[in-house]
């Protein structure tokens, strides 16, 4: 039963004609309110993941539920469809259950708050925000257990609840939730920060209504959505051929339990004004926690952000174009698992979707294609009791190499998410029993190309107290592929150097790594793939990057560049080497994966030091669901 919106005032909004100046003022004011939401959160949250790293996403939506400003797209339509209660003035909702909100948030550590905004008895907007909690209980500190089989092992899962009714906090409900968490004071502070942010958004929307009138604000929201629809429709019509089917697949390397890789497959085509993405062919859901409950509206936003940034960055992205995109994800697959499948380590599949999008949208327009990049948010967690018996717990996201792009090189050591920032090393050393011994770019880790892929980074975490570490990473088996002649980036690696002198190569997804004071974890992230022919890169630029430590002397030869001892370019040797390498290379590849899956599996032990993952084994009931779906689809087609 869908949600029931209680509006004492049923008077419809009046359509108002807006001049361009007024529309721009309202648009800028809404954008400003969205960034103010961020600022309030950063200044009032306690956990470093939110306060320092900015692992949060705000939104202001129209009364129809479409995001007007924000970052992750709207979930309101799914919320209204799945929530069977009322939405009233004075309500504020809280949830962390992906299965209760159609995947609007994708694992239990993400806490989502949503506030319906009312004026004179009418719903005029929604304000929402979610942020990643450092811990929500469960079987491991950080609440991201690699070996979880069900979501119930991953900590407290909050259904959609009215945490505020009539603007009164339901304190007993909040106490029960916080009681499940290892760091309840952090969770409490972060919760209050989320609430403060959406209340600020509510205040700004009401102020705009007071300044311009509610009818003009509603008309402005409608026009901003319509403007986006028109612009995106033009991009869809001009960048995707009608009835031309394009296919691409990529992989999550393993599930943390010895099986993999898991295929993510998608076919794209256009039917008139409708752009279709069909994930049929994606592997069944995993038995571990790498599943991603992909919200269709979220994926539509990814499509819009990608197309806008590649084709026309001046377009303001919002939900206006959603009716022109159709997303089909079979239930029971890695991207739409059946409840109660575990979801906590979904970060690999979530981010790999951007590589899939690049592979799809770039095939018809190679000049706009982007290589595979840092399509992940690898997690590092460290916890235990310090010398004073106090519990400490760190959750941090690692950064790596952004892909080479048509516009230029990929940045070194950056996050997948543009708004994320690094937790300062000084902060880590001040508040946690560890020391950062190394923080450096990994030379040659970015794929060579006309535009180089960004380098990954090495972080050396020196433990100062006994404790446990957890790692969640990927791209250790498959390469971050290069495009239109660009070469793949270097893969990831994790190792620990013990205080007793021994060394240990670590698996990419593992919990309960025991460490003692003096142990050093080396966290090597991967580089981005290269874009374009590396033999066309300016040799002087290669020499400059060697001087800066981003490329080595030997690595320069991958661009066909020979340098003298003083780092000047040997022009004659460079010309000769490039001619030789071009002849040996042959035809330029559109996509260079660094080898097919079976080749990578066969070479895995020799190249990585780790045993290759075995082929995935799927649960019988999942296979049954997928088989019945295919049979039903086949019967319908006949």
Q: What is the pLDDT of residues 60-106, one digit of tens each?
A: 999 999 999 987 777 788 788 888 899 999 999 999 999 988 888 88
Q: Contact 266/356 with Cβ under 8 angstroms?
A: yes
Beta pairing partners, 434: 463
Q: Contact 237/273 with Cβ under 8 angstroms?
A: yes
Q: What 3-state class would DSSP assign to 68?
A: strand
The closest of 611, 541, 98 to 337, measured between CA atoms, is 98
Judge residue 348's burial from the number of C-beta atoms within 10 Å of its C-beta, 0-12 exposed, 13-18 middle, 19 or more buried.
buried
Q: What 3-state class would DSSP assign to 250?
A: strand
CA distance 163 to 567: 63
Q: Which of 201-205, 252-256, 517-521, 617-621 has the least mean pLDDT?
A: 617-621
Concatenating the DSSP letter of every residue in 4-30 gives EE--S--PPPPP----HHHHHHHHHHH
pLDDT grade, residue 417 (50/70/90)? confident
pTM: 0.94
Between helices 296-311 and 347-363, what is the axis angle to 10°? 50
Which comes out higher in pLDDT, residue 202 or 240?
202
Buried/exposed 163-188: b ≥16 CB within 10 Å, e otherwise = bbeeeeeeeeebeebbebbbbbebbb
Q: What is the largest CA-CA distance in the chain?
A: 81
Q: What is the pLDDT of residues 288-314, one digit of tens each?
A: 999 999 999 889 998 988 888 777 777
Q: What is the pLDDT of residues 215-254, one digit of tens each?
A: 999 999 999 999 999 999 988 998 888 878 999 999 999 9
Provide the edge-to-edge strand list for the sheet that holds 56-61: 67-70, 56-61, 122-132, 110-119, 92-95, 161-165, 168-169
Mean pLDDT of 516-539: 97
Provide the edge-to-edge strand list for the sheet that holds 467-472: 391-397, 379-385, 467-472, 509-515
Pairing of strands 457-463, 520-524: antiparallel
Phi, psi of 609 (to 5 degrees): 85, -5
Could you tell me what percentage of the chain is helix, strand and coil, using 3-state DSSP and rounding each to the nearest 5? 35, 25, 45
Q: What is the pLDDT of residue 55?
A: 86
Average pLDDT value over all residues in the chain: 93
Q: What is the pLDDT of residues 465-519, one digit of tens each?
A: 999 999 999 999 999 999 999 999 999 999 999 999 999 999 999 999 999 999 9
Helix/strand/coil (H, E, C) string of 50-66? Answer: HHCCCCEEEEEECCCCC
pLDDT grade, residue 369 (50/70/90)? confident
CA distance 167 to 83: 20
Q: What is the pLDDT of residues 424-478, one digit of tens each?
A: 999 999 999 999 999 999 999 999 999 999 999 999 999 999 999 999 999 999 9
Q: What is the pLDDT of residue 418?
A: 73
Q: What is the pLDDT of residue 306?
A: 82
The closest of 488, 492, 451, 246 to 372, measured between CA atoms, is 488
CA distance 398 to 89: 41
> What six digits make up the tokens of 324?
């022109």
Q: Contact 592/558 with Cβ under 8 angstroms?
A: no
Pairing of strands 325-328, 274-278: parallel
Q: What is the pLDDT of residue 636?
A: 62
Residues ≥6 apart with Cβ < 8 Å to 232: 304, 307, 308, 315, 320, 321, 324
Concatenating the DSSP letter of every residue in 513-575 gives EEE-TT-EEEEEPPPPPPBS-GGGS-HHHHHHHHHTTSS-HHHHGGGT--B-TTS-B-HHHHH
Residues ≥6 apart with Cβ < 8 Å to 601: 477, 612, 613
Q: Pinpoint the alpha helices (H) of 250-395.
A: 296-311, 347-363
């Amino acid at each position: 039963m869908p949600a029931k919106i209680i509006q004492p005032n049923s008077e419809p909004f009046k359509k108002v004609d807006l001049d361009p100046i007024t529309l721009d003022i309202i648009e800028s004011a809404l954008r400003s309110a969205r960034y103010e939401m961020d600022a309030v959160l950063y200044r009032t949250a306690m956990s470093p993941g939110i306060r320092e790293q900015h692992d949060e996403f705000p939104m202001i939506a129209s009364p129809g539920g479409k995001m007007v400003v924000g970052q992750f797209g709207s979930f309101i339509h799914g919320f209204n469809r799945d929530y069977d209660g009322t939405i009233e003035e004075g309500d504020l909702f809280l949830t962390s259950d992906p299965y209760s909100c159609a995947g609007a948030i994708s694992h239990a550590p993400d806490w989502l708050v949503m506030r319906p905004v009312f004026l004179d008895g009418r719903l005029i907007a929604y304000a929402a925000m979610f942020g990643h909690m450092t811990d929500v209980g469960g079987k491991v500190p950080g609440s991201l257990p690699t070996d979880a089989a069900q979501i119930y092992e991953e900590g407290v899962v909050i259904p959609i609840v009215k945490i505020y009714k009539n603007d009164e906090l339901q304190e007993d409900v909040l106490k029960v939730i916080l009681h499940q968490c290892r760091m309840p004071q952090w969770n409490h502070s972060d919760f209050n920060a989320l609430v403060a942010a959406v209340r600020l958004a509510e205040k700004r929307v009401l102020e705009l209504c007071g300044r311009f009138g509610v009818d003009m604000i509603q008309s402005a929201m409608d026009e901003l959505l319509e403007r986006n629809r028109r612009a995106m429709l033009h991009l869809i019509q001009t960048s995707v051929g009608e009835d031309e089917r394009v296919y691409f697949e990529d992989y999550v390397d393993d599930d943390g339990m010895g099986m993999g890789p898991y295929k993510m497959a998608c076919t794209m085509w256009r039917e008139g004004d409708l752009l279709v993405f069909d994930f049929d062919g994606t592997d069944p859901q995993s038995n571990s926690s790498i599943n991603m409950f992909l919200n269709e509206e979220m994926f539509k936003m990814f499509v819009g952000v990608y197309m806008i940034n590649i084709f026309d960055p001046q377009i303001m992205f919002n939900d206006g174009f959603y009716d022109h995109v159709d997303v089909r994800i079979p239930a029971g697959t890695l991207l739409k698992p059946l409840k109660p499948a575990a979801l906590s380590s979904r970060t690999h599949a979530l981010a790999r979707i951007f590589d899939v999008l690049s592979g799809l949208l770039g095939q018809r327009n190679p000049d706009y294609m982007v290589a595979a990049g840092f399509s992940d948010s690898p997690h590092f967690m460290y916890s235990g009791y310090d010398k004073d018996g106090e519990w400490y717990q760190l959750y941090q996201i690692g950064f790596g190499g952004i892909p080479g792009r048509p516009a230029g090189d990929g940045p070194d050591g950056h996050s997948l998410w543009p708004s994320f920032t690094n937790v300062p090393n000084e902060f880590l050393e001040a508040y946690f029993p560890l020391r950062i011994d190394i923080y450096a770019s990994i030379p040659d880790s970015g794929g060579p190309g006309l535009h180089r892929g960004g380098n990954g980074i090495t972080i050396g975490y020196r433990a100062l107290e006994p404790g446990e570490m957890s790692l969640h990473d990927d791209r250790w088996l498959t390469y971050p592929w290069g495009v239109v002649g660009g070469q793949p980036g270097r893969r990831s690696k994790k190792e620990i150097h013990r205080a007793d002198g021994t060394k240990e190569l670590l698996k990419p997804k593992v919990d309960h790594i025991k460490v003692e004071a003096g142990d050093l974890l080396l966290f090597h992230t991967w580089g981005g793939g290269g874009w374009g022919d590396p033999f066309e890169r300016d040799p002087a630029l290669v020499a400059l990057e060697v001087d800066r430590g981003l490329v080595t002397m030997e690595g320069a030869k991958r661009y066909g560049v020979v340098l003298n001892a003083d780092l000047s370019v040997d022009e004659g040797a460079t010309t000769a080497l490039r001619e030789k390498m071009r002849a040996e290379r042959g035809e330029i590849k559109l996509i260079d994966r660094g080898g097919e899956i079976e080749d990578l599996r066969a070479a895995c032990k020799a190249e990585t030091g780790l045993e290759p993952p075995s082929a995935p084994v799927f649960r019988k009931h999942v296979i049954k669901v997928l088989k019945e779906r295919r049979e039903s689809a086949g019967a319908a087609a006949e």
